[in-house]
Amino acid sequence: MSTTFTINSATSRANPVSAPMKRLTVPAVRDRKAKIAAGTGEPLVMLTAYTVRMAQLMDPHCDLLLVGDSLGQVIYGLPSTVPVTLEMMAAHAAAVVRGSYHAVVVVDMPFGSYEASPQQAFESAAYLMKQSGAAAVKLEGGVAMAPTVAFLSERGIPVMGHVGLTPQAVNALGGYGARGRSQAEADKIVGDARAVAEAGAFAVVIEGVVEPIAIEITNTVAVPTIGIGASAQCDGQVLVAEDMLGLFERVPRFVKRYGDMAGFVAERAQAYAAEVRSRAFPTDEQTYAPR
């Protein structure tokens, strides 16, 4: 993947000035499926982003940035994604759109904002897109949500599906364990993915399933699959950025930690605290002298 913009790190809290570049589009993401099948396309790269600075840093490397409702736990310390609101999603999605120039920004529809009816889903999705400028929404569910996926897609709202382990249903599922260990459950997940793909979803996230399910879905649906705890054979992968960066000591089995952000932050905070207490900080270098 080639990108051409440079981040203006001098204005780390403002919009970076970008060289002209074209943002990837939803059709280009959908078309990646055929390119991957033909051996001419790379797997799709998606990471979560909730803030402008993280978006700035990850955007050049990602095809998609997901403003996931996982922000409930990661940013707000909530026990699950269930309490996350539309307003929270809209505010973070707007920040991520401001911080990105290349990736397709997808925003999660939070629990309770779309399940009641296709009309409710349309109003919530339109609100999220108007408030943030995100290009697409993601919603959880399969067969039961297919009419909603069709309703939104037919009205110009690109929808990413999400099947398998669907965290908004944690109270019904009883936990976050991998799904699809029985044949009946495996068949249901495959049916769910097919239903949302056939209803018009432009891509489908497959989360936390035993691997053959992810492979079967990837081999049979016409749109890209994006795996998380699924299979290397999916058409792309997604992780929660803070998990991947090592901000948390404990991560699920499917997460690879590419760094130790928790250790990095804790060590620097400790060093800073020691220097403040010993009056080693600030020095003349960080102090304004009279003119």
DSSP state for residue 169 in the 8-state scheme = G
Contact flag: residue 228 with ligand KIV (CB under 6 A): yes
Identify which range of 67-75, 179-187, 244-252, 266-274 contacts ligand KIV by CB under 6 A: 67-75
User: How far apart are alpha carbons 197 and 202 in whole angstroms?
Assistant: 7
Nearest distance from residue 271's CB to ligand KIV, in Å? 32
Contact flag: residue 70 with ligand KIV (CB under 6 A): yes
Contact flag: residue 48 with ligand KIV (CB under 6 A): yes
User: How far apart are alpha carbons 205 and 239 in whole angstroms?
Assistant: 11
The residue whose Cβ lies closest to ligand KIV is 68
Number of residues that bind ligand KIV (CB under 6 A): 11
User: How far apart are alpha carbons 65 and 105 in whole angstroms?
Assistant: 5
Is 2 labeled as ligand-binding? Answer: no
Is 140 labeled as ligand-binding? Answer: yes
Nearest distance from residue 124's CB to ligand KIV, in Å? 16
Contact flag: residue 108 with ligand KIV (CB under 6 A): yes
Tell me the backbone φ, ψ of residue 35, rounded to 5 degrees: -65, -40
Is 70 labeled as ligand-binding? Answer: yes
Report the residue from 16, 68, 161, 236 that binds ligand KIV according to the rule CB under 6 A: 68
Contact flag: residue 86 with ligand KIV (CB under 6 A): no
Helices 86-98 & 118-132 angle (0-180, nearest 10): 40
Is 33 labeled as ligand-binding? Answer: no
Nearest distance from residue 246's CB to ligand KIV, in Å? 17
Interacting residue ranges for ligand KIV, rule: CB under 6 A: 48, 66, 68-70, 108, 205, 207, 228, 238, 240
Binding site per annotation, positions for 3-methyl-2-oxobutanoate: 69-70, 108, 138
